[in-house]
Amino acid sequence: MRFASTFRFLGRAFAVNVKAVLEYRVNFFLQVFGMMLNNAAFAVFWKVLIDRTGGVGGYGFTDIMFVWAVSSTSFGLAHVVAGNIRSISRMVREGELDVYLLQPRDVWLNVVCSRTVVSAWGDFAYGFIVLALMPGVGLGRWLVFLAIIPAAALVFAAAFSAAETLAFWLGDSQGISGALQEFLLSFSLYPETIFEPGMRWIFYTLVPSAFVAYVPLAAWRSLDWGAVGVVWAAALAWLIITRALFRAGLKRYESGNKMGARI
């Protein structure tokens, strides 16, 4: 019953967010288009480079495009559904959590899902467009992609908000949380093999790029459903850690007596 209620709540929050962004339609479509254009610029770079070299670190053009597709769509999904995952630090600092504490809902879920990021819709769509344009992607590969996206989005959402919850302890943590987020995003968009073996353990622990890019690529290459399971297991582990961190941090939260309302 609790699950059903949570999903109903997520659905309602999502519907309200969509309604809000569609109020400014031109701006919405421009931002979506802009984000897809941004991603496409990097596709041109990889195409030119791989045509010249034949591959980078064992990755061909298709591999790179899959990594971009899965990272972009899952990053987009995380920000479309939970647009506040990168605002927690600011909200804690400015005392904006008060209004959420009074509501009869899970605070973390309520906070992160109360906004959608417009440009993230472009990221979300980009992965589907890339895969649709890629030759030889059969039903099996589409299913692997679709099964991985929600899990990878959870990894992004949980890891980003875990970094943001440092604000409960550090006060202004925007510098360090911004750095952690930048690392996660940057390392996810490039071949794992270009980085020294000595630093790759980071991608499976502190900066979980492996679960939004490298393991999904292994699953996609050999239709390995076991690897899909690994991504889901990592997502659940990150979710548990993040929620525990947020709950522990919330005990340290001090109200700023800031007046606010959610309409």
Partner 1 sequence: MSRPALAYRKYSVIAAVAIREKSAYLASYAARYLTYGLFVFVFSRIWAAVYAGSASIAGYTREMSTWYFIVAELPIFSFSAFFARVSEELKNGQIAYRLARPYGFIPASFAERVGPALLDLAVFGAVGFALGFALAGPPPVPAGLSFAVAPALALSLVLSACLQFFLQMSLAMTAFRLEENDAFYWIYQKLALVVGTLIPIEFLPDAARALARWTPFPAISWSPARILVAFEPREALSILGVQAAWVLAAALLSSAVFAAGRRHVVVNGG
CB 137 to partner 1: min, Å: 25
CB 50 to partner 1: min, Å: 9
CB 18 to partner 1: min, Å: 20
Please, which residue, 175 or 229, has the CB nearer to partner 1?
A: 175
Please, which residue, 178 or 256, has the CB nearer to partner 1?
A: 178
Please, which residue, 116 or 209, has the CB nearer to partner 1?
A: 209
Residues that bind partner 1 (CB under 8 A): 26-27, 30-31, 33-34, 37-38, 40-42, 44-45, 48-49, 51-53, 56-57, 174-175, 178-179, 182-183, 186-187, 190-191, 193-195
CB 55 to partner 1: min, Å: 9
CB 74 to partner 1: min, Å: 20
Please, which residue, 145 or 187, has the CB nearer to partner 1?
A: 187
User: Which H, E and C letters describe the chain, residue by residue?
Assistant: CHHHHHHHHHHHHHHHHHHHHHHHHHHHHHHHHHHHHHHHHHHHHHHHHHHHHCCECCECHHHHHHHHHHHHHHHHHHHHHCCCCCCHHHHHHCCCCHHHHCCCCCHHHHHHCCCCCCCHHHHHHHHHHHHHHCCCCCHHHHHHHHHHHHHHHHHHHHHHHHHHCCHHHHCCCHHHHHHHHHHHHHHHCCCHHHCCHHHHHHHHCCCCHHHCCHHHHHHHHCCCHHHHHHHHHHHHHHHHHHHHHHHHHHCCCCCCCCCCCCC
